[in-house]
Structure 1
Amino acid sequence: MLCQLSINNFAIVRFLELDFKAGMTSITGETGAGKSIAIDALGLCLGNRADANTIRPDATKAEVSARFSLSDIPLAKRWLEDHDLELDNECILRRTINSDGRSRAYINGNPVPLAQIKSLGQLLIGIHGQHAHHAMLKSEHQLTLLDSYANHKMLLDSVSSSYHRCKTIEKELQQLELAQHERLARKQLLQYQVEELNEFAISEGEFETIEAEHKKLANSTALIELCRSQLHILQENDQGSIESLLNTSISQGQDLESYDAELGSVVVMLNEALIQVQESSSELERYLDGLELDPEYFEQLELRISKALQLARKHHVNAAELFAYHQALLTELNDLDSDEDRLDEIRNQLSNSQQAYLNHARKLSQSRSRYAKELDKKVTQSIHELSMPKGKFSISVNFNESIISPHGCDGIEFLVTTNPGQPLQPIAKVASGGELSRIGLGIQVITAKKVATPTLIFDEVDVGISGPTAAVVGRMLRSLGESTQVFCVTHLPQVAGNGHQHMFVNKNSKAGKTETSMVQLDKEQRVEELARLLGGDTITSNTLANAKELLLS
């Protein structure tokens, strides 16, 4: 609950430090005294928009801080733990505004982004403004009120997550479908290119092999002549072949070795040279025997090389790279086929996700219908107590699969009849301003009892209500205050008298400066304030007596 609020140089407040208790706190004051300033300051702590104009005219900075006890707020404690901001079962929110309009937010002394203080604030306080009943005319707000009462967060989360999954899949499907035309054109081209390369069917390293073979056959005459010339030099030259000369040299070397054994190594090397020459001659003879001049085979090689070069030019690659290029095209074609399969898969996923979304949405709709009936009875009973004895309230929940949203497929409409014999009609068409205020207040009080927020603020929600109806409103808020901390800014004595405690807002002007203060009233002061609310500036014994009757604590 809210334990303390400190305000420095905010609007017409110079300094206020307010301590609060559990139960219902009534807040009253003269018109224009600034009864809502404390609530506006608290709103700043909760992340509302900062404006340099809210800084007190004679100051350069405004500062507001609020201290909460978290003993009965496990969700807020868990939030602080998750963000490493916990502090001894307490929470202090602080906000500063500089004259240049810049603001800073702090949680337990730690600077935080504004989004974090807003997120935490929703777990600490709920504020119901004086114009909340006008928002009730909007379908989306009616849906929010019903969901707040039903408190089916898990169902809402399931619908929201399945909705966003559908949107993610839809986006991927759209991207694939947009690219499908280009993909089909590319596939047709690839199929033609791959078919042509499949027909040629060049193997890895084939071009280098046939190119080398072609080169050999193209130079076969020169190869034969050179091989024969080499054989002549090595072993067939009448004037002295290399082989015969080596034999002569070996014979002479052996003679030398007989005179000096140290020259034996020379003879060994000459013998090895002779062996190498003889093997070279044999290799050349074998090569000549195997060298065939096959014009038909040569022509086939020429055609194969010519086709390879033609395809290489066509595809802008080197002929030696043709095999790798062919394999790359095959891979790309297979990938395009995979994209087609992916398209079918995505369509199936979308269909399944849409069905899952509808299943979640139906469950949510069934929950809404169930709680709508429950809320119908409670609001109808509430408006009977609020001087609409023949009124009837009903919530229409219409499931429509064509309504696809993160909040489900339901169309929600608040219906009411205020007079017997009249059919239920949309609330905006039937209810007058006063009736709308009473219906709205009844809904706010009823839904507030179901919401886990530990502190609720009602800022002049009793506008347009008076007399016995105001007394009923006061009792409603007091009853709510038995289990929840309630703050009620009001101008009605029947409401203010129901508070467990009472704060009075006063505005003073001195030396050309205006300042607002807020003090807690004791029992005698409360009677005087209720009498003022009853009778205005003139307080009589009768108004004091009436005030005492209105005061419950």
Structure 2
Amino acid sequence: MLCYLHIRNFIIAGDIELDVQQGLTVLSGETGAGKSIILDALFLLAGGRADSSQVRHGEEKADLSATFLIKADSPAGKWLHEQDLWQDGECIVRRVITADGRSRAFINAAAVPVARLKEFGELVLQIHAQHEHQRLMRTEEHLGILDSYAQVSVELHQVRKTFRDWKVAERRFRELQQGSERDNAEQQLMMYQLEELSALNLDDGELETLEQEHQALSHAESMLQTASQVAELLNSENGDADVLGQLRGAIHDLEPQAALHPTLQSALSLLTEAQITLNEASSDLHRFANDFEWDPERFADLDKRLSAIYDVARKHQCRPEALPELKRELEAKTADFAANTEELAELESQLSALEEHYRAAATLLSNMRQEASHTLAEALAQQLHRLNMPHANIVCRVTPTPEHPSVVGFDDVELCLSANPGQPVQPLHKAASGGELSRIALAIQVVAQQTQQAPTLFFDEVDVGISGATAEEVGRLIRQLSQHSQILCITHLPQVASFGHQHWLIEKEVVNGQTLSQVKSLDVESRTQEVARLISGARVTDATLSHARDLLSAPLMH
């Protein structure tokens, strides 16, 4: 529970320190006195959004802090342990807002993100805003009311998770499906191209070998003729053409004289080497002429093979030697297509399973909602009977719409009311007046608190549109609720104010030309004066004081 609140340089508050007791604390004051300052400060300390305009004019920063007493086994205590922020059953939260709009948050002196402060705030404080009853006019709010009462957070989490998993898989499936349809023509073309390249079956380096062999065969006749002519020139029975014969004669003539002079010896050596070289050349030429086989069928096959390679290269607009690499690229792309097709099949099966899981979880949640809707309606009706709506009949309609799945299930939920006998049950926005909506909102908060048990609640003028005996019953209800939770309540009604265990008066005063909001904890006499003011306004008489004393004694009699 909240036990201490310190507000400094916030809006029109200078320095306010408040000790907060258990039970019901009532806040009252003239319109514009600054009652909402307490509410706004707690809202920020619970992780609300900060604004530089909240810093008191002329100051550099606003500094807010609150101390909560926390039980170790409470949700807040467990959260603090998980975050390694636990500190002996006491938790101090602090918020600093600077004039330039920056904000810092602390839990037990440790700096934390505002989002984490908000997580903690939701566990220790619930704020019911001044015009919260207007939310009841929107049917989308009714689902949250029922779920809060039914305590289906675990089931709702499962529905959210399965729905998101289902939709993520569905988006991926559609992307692949659209891509598959879009690329179908491209895929067919690539498959045809790959089939053509596979049929060609050209290996790396094969083209060069084929071209060399084809070139050799295409010049076979001239090569044979040339080889024969050269061989005849080197070694022929015709003396004039017998190069080797003439060379042998020259060597024979030079040998006797070579020893007589070094130059002749060198010339003989060179001629001998030339003879050896020419003999080898002659042997190679004879062997080529004798061994070379002209194969016209092989030449035709080579010509056909090369023509096919060149034709395919022209089709693909690439160099012939690049065809093997192109084939590998097409194989990789078609493998991707195949993988996408396989993933599509897997996703289709997965989608069916995810949808089945979602619908099972949503059906369970729907059944729990339908069961809780009856008890919620009965509980609300009982509270409304206490709030001077003796004939009120509440119906909580849960309409399953499986054809419209969503992240919160497939139920449409609507609270309906018949306020008077003979009137049909109708949606709240048609059946309820402003004052009735206020009472229904309060009844919802009372009923919800029976299941939620939040440590501290703040009611901001939940009694708007209510007066007379109903106002007294509202005060009694809030007092009763304060037996289980600490409650702070801003009110303008003396009947509600009289039920408080503690009463704070918010006033404005001018100090050194500056307007300041002050909070005073009232004793018995000053409290009587304030309740009397709430009864009659500025003119307090003995009669209104007597009435105030009667109102203040009423809680003691119950």
TM-score normalised by the shorter chain: which range applies? 0.7 to 0.9
Determine whether 1:339 maps to 2:340: yes
The residue type equivalent to 2:140 in the other structure is E
Distance 1:458 1:299 in 2: 101
The residue type equivalent to 1:29 in the other structure is G
The answer to whether the 8 Å contact 1:470/1:492 transfers is yes
For residue 547 of structure 2, the aligned residue among 543, 546, 551 is 543
The residue type equivalent to 1:418 in the other structure is A
C-alpha distance after superposition, 1:181-209 (max 9, x if no partner)? 43111022113322322333334543233
TM-score by length of 2: 0.84
The answer to whether the 8 Å contact 1:159/1:357 transfers is yes
Distance 2:122 2:234 in 1: 106
Shift of 1:294: 1.0
C-alpha distance after superposition, 1:204-261 (max 9, x if no partner)? 5432332232244345467667888799989x955678xxx9xxx9xxxxxxxxxxxx
Shift of 1:364: 1.1
CA distance 1:230–1:483, change in 2 (3 Å): farther
Q: Which 5+ residue runs of structure 1 have no aligned equivalent?
A: 250-273
Q: Secondary structure at the match of 2:323?
A: helix
Report what 1:390 is aligned to.
391
1:250-269 equivalences under 5 Å are none
CA distance 1:304–1:527, change in 2 (3 Å): same
The residue type equivalent to 1:213 in the other structure is E
C-alpha distance after superposition, 1:302-358 (max 9, x if no partner)? 221122122123213332232232233233234324323433433333333233222
CA distance 1:201–1:550, change in 2 (3 Å): same
Distance 1:164 1:121 in 2: 27
1:373-522 equivalences under 5 Å are 373-522=374-523
Distance 2:220 2:483 in 1: 113
1:137-216 equivalences under 5 Å are 137-216=137-216
Report what 1:552 is aligned to.
556
Report what 2:268 is aligned to.
none
Q: Secondary structure at the match of 2:300?
A: helix
Report what 2:91 is aligned to.
91
The residue type equivalent to 1:312 in the other structure is A
Q: Secondary structure at the match of 2:510?
A: strand
C-alpha distance after superposition, 1:508-538 (max 9, x if no partner)? 2344322221132334443443344344442
CA distance 1:552–1:39, change in 2 (3 Å): farther
Report what 1:319 is aligned to.
320
1:282-301 equivalences under 5 Å are 290-301=291-302
- More moved, 317-326 vs 37-46: 317-326
The residue type equivalent to 2:134 in the other structure is H
- Aligned pairs, number: 527
CA distance 1:221–1:91, change in 2 (3 Å): farther
Shift of 1:398: 0.2
The residue type equivalent to 2:16 in the other structure is L
Identity, in percent, stands at 39
Distance 2:552 2:203 in 1: 107
Report what 1:30 is aligned to.
30
1:228-243 equivalences under 5 Å are 237-238=244-245
The answer to whether the 8 Å contact 2:231/2:286 transfers is no
C-alpha distance after superposition, 1:253-283 (max 9, x if no partner)? xxxxxxxxxxxxxxxxxxxxx9x99999999
Report what 1:65 is aligned to.
65
CA distance 1:452–1:233, change in 2 (3 Å): farther
- More moved, 326-335 vs 157-166: 326-335
Q: Secondary structure at the match of 1:64?
A: strand
The answer to whether the 8 Å contact 1:202/1:323 transfers is yes
Report what 1:254 is aligned to.
none
Distance 2:232 2:439 in 1: 124
CA distance 1:399–1:289, change in 2 (3 Å): farther
Distance 1:115 1:195 in 2: 59
Q: Secondary structure at the match of 2:556?
A: coil
The answer to whether the 8 Å contact 2:45/2:64 transfers is yes
The residue type equivalent to 2:422 in the other structure is G
Q: Which 5+ residue runs of structure 2 have no aligned equivalent?
A: 236-241, 256-275
- More moved, 137-146 vs 339-348: 339-348
The answer to whether the 8 Å contact 1:361/1:409 transfers is yes
Q: Secondary structure at the match of 2:553?
A: helix
The residue type equivalent to 1:31 in the other structure is T
CA distance 1:354–1:453, change in 2 (3 Å): same
C-alpha distance after superposition, 1:356-412 (max 9, x if no partner)? 222221111111111111111111111111111111111000000232321111111
Q: Secondary structure at the match of 1:179?
A: helix
Shift of 1:285: 7.7
The residue type equivalent to 1:417 in the other structure is S
Shift of 1:290: 4.7
CA distance 1:287–1:543, change in 2 (3 Å): same
Q: Secondary structure at the match of 2:31?
A: coil
CA distance 1:30–1:300, change in 2 (3 Å): same
The residue type equivalent to 2:421 in the other structure is P
The answer to whether the 8 Å contact 1:493/1:534 transfers is yes
1:123-142 equivalences under 5 Å are 123-142=123-142
Q: Secondary structure at the match of 2:97?
A: strand
CA distance 1:305–1:546, change in 2 (3 Å): same
Shift of 1:437: 1.1
Q: Secondary structure at the match of 1:552?
A: helix
CA distance 1:370–1:385, change in 2 (3 Å): same
Cα RMSD over matched residues?
3.4
Shift of 1:112: 3.6
Shift of 1:492: 2.4
Q: Secondary structure at the match of 2:188?
A: helix
Report what 1:363 is aligned to.
364
Distance 2:73 2:359 in 1: 34
The answer to whether the 8 Å contact 2:23/2:501 transfers is yes
Distance 2:479 2:195 in 1: 86
The answer to whether the 8 Å contact 1:531/1:546 transfers is no
CA distance 1:227–1:86, change in 2 (3 Å): farther
The answer to whether the 8 Å contact 2:24/2:479 transfers is yes
The answer to whether the 8 Å contact 1:211/1:305 transfers is yes
Distance 1:152 1:233 in 2: 109
C-alpha distance after superposition, 1:396-452 (max 9, x if no partner)? 000002323211111111111111122211111111211111111111111122225
Shift of 1:477: 1.8
Shift of 1:72: 5.4
Distance 2:17 2:231 in 1: 116
The answer to whether the 8 Å contact 1:162/1:356 transfers is yes
The residue type equivalent to 1:399 in the other structure is P
Distance 2:72 2:487 in 1: 15
The residue type equivalent to 2:361 in the other structure is H
The answer to whether the 8 Å contact 1:97/1:104 transfers is yes
